[in-house]
C-alpha cells in the first residue's frame, strides 16, 4: 500500500499505544501509513505503565475521548485480535477521611450535572464489601465499574501487529531527525533516509516537543518518570484497582497474585540515554502508604521496580488535534501519565479527523493552540 515504503498518505511518528492505534485506525480507513519508532513499539511509557484502564477521576475535558476509548477496550479482542490482557473489575478511589469523602461527593455531583454517570459514590459499607482488605478508617469513595487494567506492552504491540496486518509499514529502530515542508508533502528525515506524506501525526510521547519545535510550534513539555513496583505473588485479597484521593497511590492485584504499586512518585528521566533512575526514598513513601492501608501487604517482597519516560504538560492534559499552524500536521502527545486508557479511542478519533476533517467526539480544550497562541 505504501508504494516504495517511503511515501504514504500518513506518517505517524512514535510507536507508543497512541501512534500504533492511530496507525491502525488510519489503515482501517484505507489510508496508507508509515509508522516510525526510534526504539521498538511500546519501549517507553506505553509499554511500562501501570496498565490502568481508568475513567475514574479524569479531567472533564478528557471524558468524551475516554468514553470513546472505553467502548473499544470492552471489545478489544475483536478490534486487534488479542485480548491485551484486559480485565474489568472496576477502579475504586478510596477516601481516607471525611474531608476526602466530601471532595468525592462534590466531584460526582459535578459530573452528574455535566451528564456523566460513570462515577458512583460508595459508602464505607460498600467500600469494605468491594475492598475488604482496606483499612477500617476509610469512610467511602468513588467507583467506576467499567474500569479495569490491561498489559501495556502486549496491548501496544497488538495495535502495532494489527496495523501491520492491515498494510501499514512499521519502521522500528528508526529515529526522526527533522521534519520539513516539501511542496504539498511533509518530509520526515530519519537516520534511515527520508519519508514523504501529505499528513503527519506527532505521537512521539516524551520526545514530541522536539518534533513540535521543528514545526515551529514549541510546547512546554515536561519529561517525567513515574515509578512503579511489583511484589511476589500474595494471597488474593483485592479485585478492583484502588487509587487514593489524598496521597499518591495506585494499587492493583493481578490474577497471579502479584501486586502492582504505583501512584506517581517520580524518578529521574534521562531521555537522551533512554534511561530512568529510581528514587528509593520516594518508593519507600509508597511502601509506607501501602503499609498504612493494607496490613496484609507488610511482608510482601518487592521483586521489581521501574519507571517509564513520559511527557507531562503543565495542565496535565494532552495535546490532541490539528496543528495550529500547518495543514496536514496533527498532534497526539502529552498524555501526562494517564494516556494508556485513551489510546484505542484517541487513535480512532484521530483517524477520523485525518480522514474526514472532523470528529463528533468533542476534544475542546486539548488543542495545541492553548500553548502556542498568544492572546
Residue 233 beta carbon to another protein: minimum distance, rounded to whole angstroms: 4
Half-sphere exposure of 114 (CA within 13 A, CB side): 15
Give the C-alpha separation, 283 to 165, whole Å.
Answer: 41
Contacts of 272 (CB under 8 A, 6+ apart): none
Of 96 and 217, CB closest to another protein: 96
The one among 60, 192, 275, 356 contacting another protein by CB under 8 A: 275
Complex with another protein: residue 168 or 300, whichever CB lies closer: 300
Q: Are residues 204 and 339 in contact, defined by beta-carbon separation less than 8 angstroms?
A: no
Q: Per CB under 8 A, does 161 bind another protein?
A: yes
Tell me which stretch binds another protein (CB under 8 A): 29-37, 57-65, 190-198, 279-287: 279-287
Q: Which of 2, 91, 157, 169 lies at the binding interface for another protein (CB under 8 A)?
A: 157
One of 300, 309, 349, 353 touching another protein (CB under 8 A): 300
CB 31 within 8 A of CB 9: yes
- Widest CA span in the chain: 66
Q: Are 183 and 176 in contact (CB under 8 A)?
A: no
- Report d(CA 323, CA 152) in Å as an integer: 28
The DSSP bridge pattern shows strands 199-202 and 193-197 to be unpaired
Q: Which of 281, 357, 360, 375 binds another protein (CB under 8 A)?
A: 281
Among positions 47-76, residues that touch another protein (CB under 8 A) are: 47
306 binds another protein (CB under 8 A): yes
89 belongs to the binding site for another protein (CB under 8 A) = no
Nearer to another protein, 29 or 154 (CB): 154
Q: Between the CA of residue 181 and those of 188, 195, 205, 328, what are the distances in Å?
A: 9, 12, 22, 10
**Binding-site string for another protein from residue 205 to residue 244, where x marks contact by CB under 8 A and - marks none:** -------------------------xxxxxxxx-------
If one asks whether residue 354 binds another protein (CB under 8 A), the answer comes out as no
Three cell numbers written together for 286? 509508597
DSSP state of 233: P
129 binds another protein (CB under 8 A): no
Chain residues that interact with another protein, rule: CB under 8 A = 40, 42, 47, 151-154, 157, 161, 230-237, 248, 256-257, 265, 268, 275, 277-285, 287-288, 290-291, 297-306
Amino acid at each position: 500500500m505504501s508504494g516504495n515504503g517511503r511515501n504514504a498518505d500518513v506518517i505517524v511518528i512514535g510507536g507508543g499505544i497512541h501512534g500504533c492505534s492511530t496507525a491502525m485506525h488510519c489503515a482501517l480507513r484505507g489510508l496508507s501509513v508509515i509508522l516510525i519508532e526510534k526504539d521498538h513499539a511500546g519501549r517507553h511509557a506505553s509499554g511500562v505503565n501501570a496498565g490502568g484502564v481508568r475513567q475514574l477521576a479524569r479531567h472533564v475535558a478528557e471524558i468524551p475521548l475516554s468514553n470513546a476509548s472505553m467502548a473499544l477496550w470492552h471489545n478489544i479482542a475483536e478490534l486487534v485480535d488479542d485480548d491485551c490482557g484486559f480485565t474489568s473489575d472496576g477502579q475504586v478511589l478510596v477516601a481516607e477521611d471525611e474531608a476526602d469523602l466530601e471532595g468525592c461527593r462534590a466531584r460526582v455531583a459535578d459530573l452528574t450535572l455535566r451528564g456523566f454517570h460513570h462515577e458512583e459514590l460508595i459508602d464505607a459499607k460498600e467500600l469494605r464489601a468491594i475492598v475488604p482488605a482496606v483499612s477500617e478508617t476509610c469512610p467511602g469513595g468513588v467507583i467506576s465499574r467499567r474500569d479495569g487494567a490491561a498489559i501495556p506492552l502486549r496491548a501496544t504491540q497488538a495495535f502495532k501487529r494489527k496495523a501491520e496486518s492491515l498494510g501499514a509499514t512499521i519502521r522500528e529502530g528508526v529515529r526522526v531527525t527533522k521534519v520539513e515542508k516539501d511542496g504539498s508533502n511533509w518530509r520526515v528525515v530519519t537516520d534511515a533516509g527520508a519519508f514523504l506524506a501529505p499528513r503527519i501525526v506527532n505521537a512521539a510521547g516524551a520526545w514530541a516537543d522536539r518534533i513540535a519545535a521543528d514545526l515551529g510550534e514549541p510546547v512546554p513539555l515536561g519529561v517525567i518518570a513515574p515509578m512503579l513496583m511489583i511484589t511476589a505473588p500474595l494471597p488474593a485479597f483485592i479485585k478492583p484497582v484502588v487509587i487514593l484521593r489524598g496521597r499518591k497511590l495506585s494499587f492493583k492485584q493481578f490474577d497471579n497474585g502479584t501486586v502492582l504499586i504505583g501512584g506517581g512518585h517520580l524518578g529521574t528521566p534521562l531521555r537522551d540515554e533512554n534511561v530512568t533512575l529510581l528514587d528509593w526514598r520516594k518508593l519507600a513513601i509508597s511502601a509506607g502508604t501501602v503499609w498504612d492501608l493494607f496490613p496484609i501487604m507488610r511482608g510482601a517482597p518487592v521483586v521489581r521496580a521501574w519507571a517509564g519516560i513520559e511527557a507531562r504538560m503543565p495542565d496535565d492534559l494532552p495535546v490532541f488535534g490539528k496543528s495550529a499552524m500547518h495543514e496536514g500536521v496533527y498532534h497526539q502527545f502529552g498524555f501526562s501519565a494517564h494516556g494508556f486508557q485513551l489510546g484505542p479511542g484517541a487513535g480512532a478519533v484521530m483517524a477520523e479527523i485525518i480522514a474526514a476533517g472532523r470528529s463528533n467526539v468533542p476534544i475542546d480544550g486539548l488543542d495545541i493552540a492553548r500553548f502556542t497562541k498568544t492572546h
